[in-house]
């Protein structure tokens, strides 16, 4: 039943207690049935909010009411840890978990999907606070041992062969030739006769170059045609073979003990999605598969064909063989010279295969009905290792996993941040860690000049996944840890970036916990129980309001702004330093003339990082400590395949790292020559000669940095004195 009321438009949803909850643009309110005698205002015909909006509000309201009631009764709350998907970006979760376990976290309920399923399954081996913390130590060791993409996934054979073909130098030269032709065509279109005349000799030489390209490309054509059947028959781009070995106990260096998970007492919920039905399901710590509600066992007919259905099964097998033979014959025709331009063969083969497909679908349906008639359904139970692989199998990127009679893929397809899994397993206090940002980042691209099909497709996918992740946050987690930008993408394993992302996760988790304690000191953010200083006799209903957050005299200096900003800026500059060190390695081996310039950039960037670390500590941000932050500015970042040496220092009688040891206070823009003073997290331009004079020699001798590096620092108001 829905009614609409005046300015506070909303939908009425009846609660089990007889109350009506109003959800709408004007806010939420609660009233009884007696509200209907005209006192609520005139009705309106506005469209009602979506079912998702009502469900989000109702679930969140129930969770908050239960939380306050349990706190009033002094009941112990069950902590649930939720780990999102994100592929290689799961390194962010490891850093956040390190901070949480330093705070003595223990999660008796763990829910995850994709990489969160892998991390969560490892944590679930510990059924006690000490053993779960030890399991995290093993998980961190696994991530610390990752060096390249091949430590997590491998390319399929057809992809390797295709890359080897495309890496041939002739393709890069052909691309340059196409750009040259495009440029000449633009000049003809613009009637620039002088430019055309200057390009005439080049135009006369073009046929000879194209003849050379043709001779070099012809040997590659059969190889590309030979890959067509493999590409059309492929089920995925990559394989999870390294992870399969770990999960099945074939890799002794990083084992997963699924038997220990089943006996630990931790409730584990891994999100998976069935390709055939499209349903979201959950794999438990014992390998049981439940329905979308997380409670009802998923039942299906066990594998096997009863005797009464063997005739239909044999017919179906024969039809599949005939269809496959015709399909392979079609692919051979396509691989022949000139066949790719012929539509007759394609159309005839598609018609033949389509008829066979229809027959196969009818036979499969008849076989399904026959099996269902002669076999009783039973709850589905699978090996936990297979459930973890299914939850990690990104569609098309990795191969789907057969569990029972259906093929399953990454649960992030429908539940990226699986809060519902933890809530339905009994968690009252949810701590969620997302490996990806939960807000769409601004992309300063000029459409349509920069946007092309790959960029548009990737951007659309990012926006869709962000929306799915946000709608998953029901009920609202008590503590939510998420990055505000990406350090690396989901398919990249790079030793240095993995470590930077872990440190970023550590700072984000420390900030989230610290700010929660600051805004609500009455309860422990990791357990939801009242803090020792606030324990006392139960207070009568109605429940007291949460204490108001402290008011900062200077909003720009508020911890809620400074702490996250410091984590972001430090991480971005570490990424800059890592890229500069990669360039330095190339320079040292090929272009030594640029070595002093790159050295100077690195030293200055490290000095700014040193200054920012001190500014973060001065703002009262919780952690990390000096022993963990000193290598950020005083040492090299980690790299794959090489290590940079220490630099000789006669003044210090030995060797030092890339940082000079002193924080940078002034820096100069390399292009505009403007001088900036670093105050806290901000850079302030010295806008007058008096300001430059007052700064003295430190400003006059300020090191230079490119403008794009300085842009990573937030700009404050110019200084005139």
In sequence order, what DSSP letters do the residues of 175-200 get, joined into one string? HHHHHHHHHHHHHHHTT-HHHHHHHH
Same domain, 418 and 476: yes
**pLDDT at residue 58, as a whole number:** 65
What is the predicted pLDDT for the residue at 222?
A: 79
Do residues 233 and 242 make contact, with C-beta atoms less than 8 angstroms apart?
A: no
Same domain, 189 and 208: yes
Question: Which structural domain range is residue 171 located in?
Answer: 167-231
Residues 368 and 263 in one domain: no
Report the pLDDT value the prediction gives residue 473, as an integer from 0 to 100: 83
Is residue 221 domain-shared with residue 296, that is, in the same domain?
no
Same domain, residue pair 212 and 344: no
| Of 334, 353, 374, the domain-final residue | 374
The answer to whether residue 669 is domain-embedded is: no
What is the pairing mode between strands 401-403 and 406-410? antiparallel
221 and 205, same structural domain?
A: yes
Average pLDDT, 10 consecutive residues per value, the chain (721 residues): 37 41 39 39 47 63 60 69 95 97 95 96 94 95 91 90 75 67 59 50 57 71 79 88 82 80 95 94 96 91 86 91 81 60 58 81 90 88 95 93 93 92 92 92 60 71 78 84 94 94 97 90 81 50 42 58 94 95 82 82 92 93 88 90 67 52 89 93 92 90 92 91 81
Is 624 contained in some domain?
Answer: no
pLDDT of residue 28: 39
* Same-domain status, 260 and 296: yes
Is the residue at 365 inside a domain? Answer: yes
Phi, psi values for residue 665, rounded to 5°: -105, -30
Look at residue 185 and tell me if it is in a domain.
Answer: yes
In total, how many domains does the chain have? 3
> Based on the domain organization, do 428 and 511 belong to the same domain?
yes
Element (H, E) at 433: strand 429-433
With CA atoms as reference, report the closest residue to 81 among 367, 428, 381, 376: 428
**Same domain for 485 and 422?**
yes
Strand partners of residue 290: 282, 297
**Residue at 640 is within a domain:** no
Distance CA 27, CA 6 (A): 12
Q: Which residues contact residue 193 at a Cβ distance below 8 angstroms, ignoring those fewer than 6 apart?
A: none
- Choosing from 501, 517, 533, the residue where a domain stops is 517
Asked if residue 417 and residue 477 are part of one domain, the reply reads yes
| Judgement on whether residues 200 and 346 belong to the same structural domain of the protein | no
Greatest distance between any 2 Cα atoms in the chain = 97
DSSP state of 271: E
Q: How far apart are CA 721 and CA 719, in angstroms?
A: 6
Crossing angle of helices 344-374 and 310-335, in 10° steps, is 160
Q: List the one residue out of 199, 213, 205 whose CA is nearest residue 171.
A: 213
Q: Determine the length of the chain.
A: 721
Residue 93, domain member (yes or no): yes
Domain membership flag for residue 562: no
pLDDT at residue number 502 = 97
Domain C-terminal end among 374, 391, 421? 374
| pLDDT on residue 234 | 87
What is d(CA 606, CA 637) in angstroms, rounded to the nearest whole number? Answer: 11
Distance, CA of 414 to CA of 393 (rounded, Å): 13
Same domain as 370, residue 326: yes
Inside any domain, residue 292 = yes
């Amino acid at each position: 039943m829905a009614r609409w009321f005046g300015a506070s438009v909303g939908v009425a949803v009846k609660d089990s207690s007889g109350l009506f909850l109003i959800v709408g643009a004007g806010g939420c309110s609660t009233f009884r049935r007696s509200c209907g005698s005209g006192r609520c205002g005139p009705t309106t015909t506005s469209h009602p909010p979506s079912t998702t909006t009502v469900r989000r509000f109702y679930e969140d309201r129930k969770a908050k009411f239960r939380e306050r009631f349990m706190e009033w009764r002094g009941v112990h709350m069950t902590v649930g840890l939720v780990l999102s998907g994100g592929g290689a970006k799961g390194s962010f979760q490891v850093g956040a978990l390190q901070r949480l376990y330093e705070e003595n976290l223990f999660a008796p309920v763990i829910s995850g999907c994709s990489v969160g399923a892998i991390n969560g399954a490892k944590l679930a081996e510990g059924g006690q606070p000490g053993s779960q913390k030890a399991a995290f130590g093993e998980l961190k060791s696994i991530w610390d041992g990752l060096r390249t993409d091949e430590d997590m996934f491998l390319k399929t054979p057809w992809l390797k062969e295709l890359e080897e073909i495309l890496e041939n130098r002739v393709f890069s030269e052909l691309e340059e030739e196409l750009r040259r032709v495009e440029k000449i065509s633009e000049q003809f279109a613009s009637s620039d006769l002088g430019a055309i005349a200057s390009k005439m000799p080049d135009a006369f030489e073009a046929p000879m170059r194209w003849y050379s390209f043709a001779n070099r490309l012809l040997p590659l054509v059969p190889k590309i045609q030979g890959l067509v059947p493999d590409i059309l028959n492929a089920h995925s781009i990559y394989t999870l073979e390294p992870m399969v070995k770990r999960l099945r106990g074939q890799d002794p260096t990083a084992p997963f003990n699924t038997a220990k998970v089943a006996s630990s007492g931790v409730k584990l919920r891994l999100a998976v999605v069935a390709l055939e039905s499209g349903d979201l399901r959950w794999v438990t710590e014992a390998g049981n598969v439940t329905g979308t509600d997380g409670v009802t066992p998923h039942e299906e007919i066990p594998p096997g064909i009863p005797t009464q259905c063997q005739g239909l099964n044999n017919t179906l097998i024969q039809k599949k063989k005939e269809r496959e033979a015709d399909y392979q014959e079609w692919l051979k025709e396509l691989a022949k010279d000139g066949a790719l331009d012929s539509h007759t063969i394609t159309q005839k083969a598609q018609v033949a295969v389509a008829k066979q497909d229809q027959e196969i679908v009818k036979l499969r349906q008849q076989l399904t009905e026959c099996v269902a008639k002669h076999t009783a359904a039973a709850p589905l139970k699978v090996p936990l290792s297979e459930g973890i692989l299914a939850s990690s199998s990104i569609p098309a990127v990795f191969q789907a996993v057969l569990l029972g009679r259906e093929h399953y893929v990454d649960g992030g397809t429908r539940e990226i941040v699986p809060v519902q899994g933890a809530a339905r397993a009994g968690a009252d206090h949810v701590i969620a860690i997302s490996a990806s940002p939960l807000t769409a980042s601004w992309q300063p691209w000029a459409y349509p000049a920069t946007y092309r099909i790959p960029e548009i497709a990737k951007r659309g996918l990012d926006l869709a996944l962000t929306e799915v992740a946000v709608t998953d946050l029901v009920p609202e987690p008590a503590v939510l840890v998420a990055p505000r930008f990406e350090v690396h993408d989901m398919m990249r394993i790079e030793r240095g970036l993995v470590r930077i992302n872990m440190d970023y996760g550590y700072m984000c988790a420390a900030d989230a916990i610290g700010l929660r304690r600051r805004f609500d000191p009455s309860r422990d953010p990791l357990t939801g129980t009242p803090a020792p200083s606030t324990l006392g006799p139960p207070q009568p209903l109605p429940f007291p309001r949460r204490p108001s957050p402290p008011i900062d005299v200077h909003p720009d200096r508020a911890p809620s702004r400074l702490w996250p900003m410091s984590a972001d800026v430090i991480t971005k500059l570490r990424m800059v330093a890592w890229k500069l060190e990669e360039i330095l390695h190339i320079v040292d081996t090929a272009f030594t003339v640029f070595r002093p310039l790159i050295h100077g950039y690195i030293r200055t960037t490290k000095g700014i990082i040193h200054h920012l670390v001190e500014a973060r500590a001065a703002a009262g941000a919780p952690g990390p400590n000096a022993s963990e932050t000193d290598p950020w500015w005083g040492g090299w970042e980690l790299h794959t395949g090489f290590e940079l040496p220490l630099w000789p220092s006669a003044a210090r009688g030995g060797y030092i790292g890339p940082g000079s040891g002193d924080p940078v206070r002034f820096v100069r823009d390399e292009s505009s020559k403007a001088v900036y003073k670093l105050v806290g997290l901000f850079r302030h331009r010295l806008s007058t000669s008096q300001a430059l004079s007052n700064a003295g020699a430190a400003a006059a001798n300020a090191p230079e940095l490119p403008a794009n590096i300085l842009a990573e620092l937030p700009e404050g108001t110019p200084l005139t004195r």
